[in-house]
Amino acid sequence: MSKATELHEALGAFDKTTSRWGRITMIMGLFFSLAAPAYLVFFAGLDIEVAGILTAFGALAAVFGVIWIVEPLTYFPILGASSMYQAFMIGNISNKLLPAAMIAQATIGVKPGTRKGELASVAAICGAATVHLTSLFIFVGLLGTWLVSVIPGDMIQTVQFYILPTVMGAVVVQAIVSQKAPRSAVIALVVSVVVVFIVQLYKPFGLFSTAVAVISTAALAWVLRDRRTLGSPEDTTAESELPEGPVY
Amino acid sequence: MNFPAAVRTAADSNSTDILAVANSPVLWACAIGVFLVIVVQSVIYMKAARIAAPHIGMSQAELKTSFRAGAISALGPSLAVVMVAVALLTVFGTPAVLVRIGLIGSVSYETAAAAIAANSAGAELGGPTYTQAVFGLALAAMSLGGAMWMIATLILTPLLKKGDSALRKVNPAIMMVVPGAAMVAAFMVLGIGELPKSWIHVVAFVSSAAIMTVLMVIAKKVNRPWIKEWALGIAIILSLSITYAATRL
């Protein structure tokens, strides 16, 4: 057998194994992640209607639908096919998995985009997953659960009551900084203030407010974009173009 | 492990004792299921890489070094995620936080998704209307939303691998402008929508945004990327402390 065919077969086997088992494990992950709410909805004796879930899902799709498609498209050229199935189950892609892969490639001196680079990044993501699962299990699963059981009730209530404004305050600043699109940020601010004001005047509008704000901002940001810098195709795979934090 | 909360109380749609259902053994089993699936996946992938490596002139030592480099570099980001996750334990319960915030999703997306789902039922995330039934609805919506990422990955990856040209021709300018603007708008409107509720909501939102801004400026000035990693966790915990102090005034 010639060297070239041997190489071809070895890599073919790797691709076959990772894409087959990558898909199988991802479908299993999908099953477990949906089994939890399915239990609550159908078996826990809670009064939750399927129609209500569809409404909630519709509201969510109006807000995040674009991101569901765009994110896999964005990461494919950087991750490669085999790592896609790892990354979208382990999560925290831009702030944890990509740096892990890059550092591994730099450590052994291989370039991204090469076959050696791909194997290095697969191994690096496995290493990152090991650390991540361990720290989640110990610090959140065990220590965190214990922590919640000892902190006073009024503190728990404060967290529950004010978690949304607290998280959104920090996240909105983080998103603005990492997107580096000040024009969109200003549009989002103006649209949001208007939408929230309308909700104050007419409460039932609250049901659609998020979707309306998101869709109008996206449309306005596109119409009012800076055509000098955003007219031509750019190399979106460049490192500098990656979102810096856990934006999505 | 013991599951005291779950055994103690039966489900009650109108109860705001979220943790009674959120920490139920079935949800724990599902969370552990996701953990195990990732372990199995990593083992299969490492094995496949080990078999393929020698054929492309890569030594087992290089593979091991890559694994270790990935593990070490993930330490900081993982602990940063842990900090955020712990802050949300009382809102979603441990199993949902482990799966949704620790793994598949992220705190920004999942909190936004839960709030949108609660709003669609005329309720609010975390307030007196955040009952067990609303939690169930929010978890269902968060999970279905997260499933869409996985389904998109499952469908798009083979297509992209074949080099589907139609997908690659998506206008890059649209890709750069629209998703980013949509995300900022979603977080912005959810945050600003909280402001009219009470002055304490204003304290929560403004303090969190201010702390994040300060941390981002510091990170840039001293050029320390780790500050950006930890910024979200620090901002959430500090701002919750400030808010707690405000409620006691």
The mean predicted confidence, pLDDT, of chain A is: 84
pLDDT at residue A220 in the model: 93
Please tell me the predicted confidence (pLDDT) of residue A230: 61
| B51 Cβ contact list (under 8 Å, min separation 6) | A10, A13, A14
Q: Which residues contact A197 (CB under 8 A, 6 or more apart)?
A: none
Q: What single-letter DSSP state applies at residue B190?
A: H
Average pLDDT over residues A210-238: 74
The verdict on residue B176 lying in a domain is no
Choosing among B16, B21, B190, B230, which should be mutated to test the A contact, i.e. which has the most A CBs within 10 A?
A: B190
What is the domain count for chain B? Answer: 1
Q: pLDDT tens, B126-182?
A: 888 999 999 999 999 999 999 999 999 999 998 888 876 566 566 667 777 888 888
Residues of B in contact with A41 (CB under 8 A): 136, 140
- Taking only the tens place, the pLDDT of each residue in A35-74 is 999 999 998 888 888 999 999 999 999 988 888 888 888 7
Q: Alpha carbon of A187 to those of A120, A167, A217, A246, B52: distances in Å?
A: 42, 21, 6, 22, 50
Residues of chain B found within 8 Å of residue A120, distances taken between Cβ atoms: 58, 62-63, 66
Each of the 249 residues of chain B gets a pLDDT tens digit; together they read: 444 444 444 578 888 888 889 999 999 999 999 999 999 999 999 999 999 999 888 999 999 999 999 999 888 888 888 888 888 898 999 999 999 888 887 888 899 999 999 989 888 888 889 999 999 999 999 999 999 999 999 999 988 888 765 665 666 677 778 888 888 898 999 999 999 999 999 999 999 999 999 999 998 899 887 888 888 889 999 999 999 999 988
CA distance A146 to chain B (A): 10
CB distance B116–A63 less than 8 Å? yes
For residues B149 and A90, give the distance between their C-alpha atoms in angstroms, rounded to a whole number: 12
The pair of structure tokens assigned to A229 is 């810098």
Instruction: State the nearest Cα–Cα gap between A43 and chain B, in angstroms.
Output: 10
Nearest-CA neighbor of A36 among B131, B199, B208, B138? B138
Residue B96, in any domain of the structure: yes
Residues of B in contact with A30 (CB under 8 A): 147, 150-151
Q: A191 vs chain B: nearest CA distance in angstroms?
A: 8
- Among B45, B201, B240, the residue with its CB nearest the CB of A122 is B45
Other Cβ atoms less than 10 A from the Cβ of A213: the count is: 28
Question: Does B6 contact A at CB distance below 8 Å?
Answer: no
Give the rounded percent of residues in chain B with a pLDDT score beyond 70.
92
Structural domain that includes position B59: 4-164
Query: pLDDT at position A7, please?
Result: 75
B16 contacts: CB under 8 Å, gap ≥ 6: B128, B130, B131, B132
Please classify residue A88 by burial: count the beta carbons closer than 10 Å to its beta carbon, then call 0-12 exposed, 13-18 middle and 19+ buried.
buried
A108 and B66 in contact (C-beta within 8 Å)? yes
Interchain CB contacts (distance < 8 Å): A and B? 612
Sequence-ordered list of residues with C-beta below 8 angstroms from that of A17, at least 6 positions apart, any chain: B44, B48
B216 reaches A (C-beta below 8 A)? yes
**In this complex, is the C-beta atom of B17 within 8 Å of any C-beta atom belonging to chain A?**
no
Task: Inform me whether the pLDDT recorded for A237 exceeds 50.
Answer: no
* Cα–Cα distance, A51 to A38 (Å, whole number): 14
Residue B166's pLDDT is what? 63
Q: Chain A: nearest CA to B222, how far in angstroms?
A: 16
Chain A residues with CB-CB distance to B53 below 8 A: 119
Tell me if B204 is assigned to some domain.
no
B153 at interface of A, judged by CB pairs closer than 8 A: yes
In a domain, B245, yes or no: no
- Domain layout of chain A by residue ranges: 153-248
Q: Give the best residue of A172, A180, A187 to mutate against chain B (max B CB count within 10 A).
A: A172
